Structure 1
Amino acid sequence: MAVTLTESAATHVKNFIAKRGKGAGLRLGVRTSGCSGMAYKLEFADEANDDDLHFESYGVTVLVDPKSLIYLEGTELDFVREGLNEGFKFNNPNVKDACGCGESFNV
């Protein structure tokens, strides 16, 4: 399996990297945090780390460290607009429970 982006998310990432003027792709990961145990990390990467796993979606490179992959395997990252709000939405098939505020999850 892989970590993928929807076309909407890929378009948003490409536009942001173009505005920045540099970037190797999007780095996804997890960290220990919140009331449910894990939280997503999302950042634009200027270069890949030696141990990063590389996934391609709609022309965007998604970088994931090996320790995070067990929590992110099969995840699809979407970019959604709901009313006046917009942002990334993680569609992660591994999530068993999430906190009420949506900040953290567990697998």
Structure 2
Amino acid sequence: MAEDLAGLRRQLAQTLPDRIRAAIGGYETFAATVPPDDAKGFAAWHAAAKAALAHADALVKLARWAEGGAAASDETEGLDGVLARARAVLAGLEDEDGDSGDDQ
């Protein structure tokens, strides 16, 4: 069993970097599209973006396991940083609808 697990770790350590790059590339391509204007379409677009990020996050966690490393503790690094920037972009999209929260 331990040998099988070690072999799996080695195999994943070799294949996951390319899969992570592909998942992030797909997310970036999708996120560059204009979200629909209607609420239902935007909600679906937003859910798809979140699912893509969750998939990439799972791959990164699996890669860390495969390499025998622990998760990064600094949230400004790696995928955590990508997630933080994506959340900021989504918040900016919500503000672009003219509701900045300032009533002057």
TM over 0.5: no
Which TM-score applies when normalising by structure 2?
Answer: 0.22
Which TM-score applies when normalising by structure 1?
Answer: 0.22
**More strand as a share of residues:** 1
